[in-house]
Chain A
Amino acid sequence: MALLSLKNLQISAGDKEIIQGISLEVGEGEVHVIMGQNGSGKSTLLSALAGNPKYAVKGAALFEGKDLLAQKTHERARRGMFLAFQSPIEVPGVSLASMLRRAYAARFGDEMSAVEFDKILSAKAEAMGLTRSFFSRGINDGMSGGERKMSEILQLSVLEPRLAMLDEPDSGLDVDALGRVGAAIGKIRKNGMSMVIVTHYARVLRSIKADKVHVMHMGGIVASGDEKLAHKIEEKGYRWVLQ
C-alpha cells in the first residue's frame, strides 16, 4: 500500500482551477522530486495536501490508506505529514522552542516540561550545527532566508513525520547555505523518511537520491521518470519535456 495515494486530484482557489486532475502514488520510504515552471501548481499541490483552507480540493487523497481530505490541517500533521514552507511565516514573540514543544506534544501525545523538551530540541539543533539562540527567538522573526530554511528542517527533524513535503528547500540560498540545508535533509533522509520535494534544480539530488522525478505543467503531471529526467531538464530546459 502506498503511503500517499492521489487519484484525479483537483485543486482550486476561488474560481481559479490550479490543479486539474493529478494522480500520484508515493510508496513507503520513497523520495519523489517534482519539478516544473513557475506557476505550474507545484507549491499549491503541497500546500493543499497539508490542508491549507484557502484551497478547495476534489478527487481522492489517501494517507496510509485513510482519507486525508476530510481532515483538518492539524490532524494531518498529527498523523505524520509535514510541510516545509517555501517562504516560512513569521510569528513574532513566539519562540520556536515553545511552538515546537506544543507541536511535539500534539504529534506524539507526549506532554513534557520545557526543560525536558529542551534536551530533545538542543540535541537535534546541535546535530545540525545550530545554536540555542536559533530556537529561543521568535519564529522566523528577523531571520535570513537561509536561517528560515534551516528552521524548517530543524522542525522536520524534531517532528519526524512519515511524509515530508519540502517546498523549494533550495531556493534563495547562497552556495554555503545550500550545502548546509542539503546536508541536513540528506541526514534526515537516512532514516528512511518518505519525501516529496518541489524544486527547480537537479542539484538537490546531490544530497538525496530520488526514486521518481515528475514534471508538472499547467496543473498536471506531464512527465515522470528517474533522476535522469531531472538532469536532462537542467541541461535542456522544460521545453524539451513539453515537446
Chain B
Amino acid sequence: MGIAMKKLENVAEKYGRDAKVSAVPSEGKLNVGYRTKEKGLTEALVREISEVKGEPGWMLKKRLESFAIFKSKPMPAWGPDLSKLDLDALTAFVRPKGKEAEPTIWNDVPPDIRRTFDALGIPEAERKFLSGASAQYDSEVLYKSLRKNISELGVIFTDMDSAVKEYPELVKRYFMTRSVPAKDNKFSALHGAFWSGGSFVYVPQGVKVPQPLQIYFMMNYPGFGQMEHTLIVAEQGSSVQYIEGCSAPHYTKDSLHSAVVEIFAGKASRVRYTSIQNWSRNVYNLNTKRAIVSEDAIMEWVGGTLGSGVTMLYPCSVLVGKGARAEHLTISLAGEGQVKDTGAKVLHMAPNTSSRVVSKSICRGGGLVRYRGLLHVGKGCTGVKASVRCDSIIADRISIAETVPVIDVRSDDAIIQHEAAVGRISDDQLFYLMSRGIDENEAVSLIVRGFIEPIVKELPLEYAVEMNRLVEMEMEGAVG
C-alpha cells in the first residue's frame, strides 16, 4: 500500500479514568415551554405544525416521511449516553400562531448564566432575549435589514419558513435531499419532521458576497432556535461567509437542540460557515451538518462549542468534485457535567481533493471531550492529501480527553497525516508566566487562549473577544 502515514501519534495521557463523568446536567429535567394539547411527538403534531405555518403539501409530505423514519430508527448505539433524553416528553417545538408563549421568568434563569451576562456586559434587552425572557424577534424585519445591499446582487437571504413558500423550486431541490436526508440518523429524521426556522442563503453564479451574513440570534417562534434548518447554496464561482450562533450563553427551557445545516458549494466556489454554540447546560445538542463540495470549491467550517450538556456534532464535507478542498477548525470546551463528542468527517470522493482538520479541545472539572473523526478516501481517488490535528488540554485530574479517529483509505497514493496530542497545562509555562508577576489563574487562561488562538484568529473580532473572555471565565479556578 502506498499510504504514507507520515506521523501517527496518539499520546493518550488520560487522567482520572475512573472519575465519574456525569452525562446528565444538573438541571436536566425536561421542561418544555410551549405545549399543544396532545402530549408526545405525534403525527398529529407534525400536521399541526405544517398547517400553522401554512406550508405547501410537498413540505408536509416530507415532514411525514421524516416522521415515519424517526419512528422506525433506534437511538444511536454509539457515542454519549442519551438514555436520559426523553423524546416523548418533548411536545411541541413550535408555538402555534395566536397562542401567546409564556416567557421564561427572569428569576428562573440559572445564576451562573446571569453572572456570565454580567461579566460579558451584555445589554439588558439582549440578556432577556438570550434567556428566553423577552418577546420574540420579528424575523422578517431582521432579515430585511441584514440583506440590505446584497439583494441587488441576486443573493437570497431569508428565513427558512419563508423560503419554502417563496422559493419552492430551490428548496425542493436542496432541502434534505442530497446533503442530509432524513434517513441520515434518528435526529435528522426528527428534525425533518419538526424543523422550524433557520436561514436560507442562495448565492448566484459568480457573486462574491462582500460582507459575512451574520445571524447573531434569530427566532420568530419561541423554540425556533431548537430545530432550525440552515440551507446554503453557493453557485459556481461564488463566495459567501455565513456566521451563526451566539457566544453568550443561550438559555432555553427546552432540552433538545437538533439543527441541520446543509451546504452546497458549487464549482470553484468558496463557503465559510462559522458557528458558536453556548446553550445552557440542560440542553442536548445533537446536530447534523454537511456540505457537498464540488470541483475546485473550498469549504471551511469554523466553530466553537462551549455550552450544552451533551453535544454530538461532526460537520461533514463530502468532496465530490476533483480539486475540492475542506477545512475544519473547531474548539470544544467541556466543563463540569459536560460531554463534548465532536469532530469532523471528510469524505474524499474525487481525485486531487484535499482537507485539513484542526481540533482543539479543553476539559476541566470532570468534563469529557472526545474527538471523533472520520477520514475516508474513496477508491480511485488519486492525489488526495489530508491532515488531521487534534490537541487537547486536560486542566485537572478528574477530566477526560479522548481521541477516536477513523481513517479509511481506499486509494493507493493518498497522503494522510494524523497528529494528536493530549496534555496538561505545562508546569514550565505556568512558572514562566508567574515569574513575570502574572497570577496562576491569569497564567492558565493565557496559556489556554494561546492554545486556541489558531482557531480564534479565524473568528470575526467580536466573536473572538467574547470567546476569549468566556474561556477565561471557564478556566477560572480550573487549576489549583
**Residues of A near any B CB (own CB < 8 A):** 50-54, 72-74, 76-78, 82-83, 85, 88-94, 98-100, 102-103, 106-107, 138-139, 155, 159
Contacts and interface: CB of A to CB of B under 8 A. Distances in A.
Contacts of B436: 74, 77, 82, 99-100, 102-103, 106, 155, 159
Contact of B449 (A77, A78, A89, A94): A94
Interface string B428-459: 11011111111110110011011111100000
B434 A94 contact: no
Contacts of B452: 93
Contact of B450 (A78, A93, A103): A93
Contacts of B428: 89
B446 A74 contact: no
B427 interface: yes
The residue among B434, B442, B446, B447 with the most chain A CB atoms within 10 A of its own CB is B434
A102 to B, nearest CB: 5
B442 A102 contact: yes
Contacts of A73: 431, 434-435
Contact of B446 (A82, A89, A99): A99
Nearest to A73: B434
B431 to A, nearest CB: 5
Given A74-B438, A93-B454, 4 more contacts: A89-B428, A91-B429, A93-B453, A106-B439
B437 A89 contact: no
A62 B453 CA distance: 40
Interface in B440-480: 440, 442-443, 446-447, 449-454
A50 B429 CA distance: 14
B25 to A, nearest CB: 30
B431 A52 contact: yes
A98 B436 CA distance: 12
Interface string B112-129: 000000000000000000
A76 B439 CA distance: 11
Contacts, number: 87
A93 B457 CA distance: 10
Contacts of A88: 432
Given A74-B439, A94-B449, A89 B432 contact: yes
Contacts of A103: 436-438
Contacts of B437: 74, 77-78, 103, 106-107, 159
A90 B433 CA distance: 10
Contacts of B431: 50-54, 73, 89
Contacts of B427: 53-54
The residue among B426, B439, B451 with the most chain A CB atoms within 10 A of its own CB is B439
Interface in B385-437: 426-429, 431-437
A1 B51 CA distance: 88
A215 to B, nearest CB: 26
Interface of B: 426-429, 431-440, 442-443, 446-447, 449-454
B446 A91 contact: yes
Contacts of A93: 449-454
Nearest to B360: A93
B228 to A, nearest CB: 33
Contacts of A98: 446
Given A54-B427, A138-B450, A91 B432 contact: yes
Nearest to B447: A91
Contacts of B451: 92-93
Contacts of A82: 435-436
Contacts of B446: 91, 94, 98-99, 102
Contact of A51 (B435, B439, B449): B435
A102 B438 contact: yes
12 contacts: A73-B431, A77-B436, A82-B436, A91-B432, A94-B446, A98-B446, A102-B436, A102-B446, A103-B436, A106-B436, A106-B438, A155-B436
A53 B432 CA distance: 11
B433 A91 contact: yes
A117 to B, nearest CB: 14
Contacts of B435: 50-52, 73-74, 76-77, 82-83, 85
A50 B434 CA distance: 9
B434 A77 contact: yes
A141 to B, nearest CB: 9
A74 B434 contact: yes
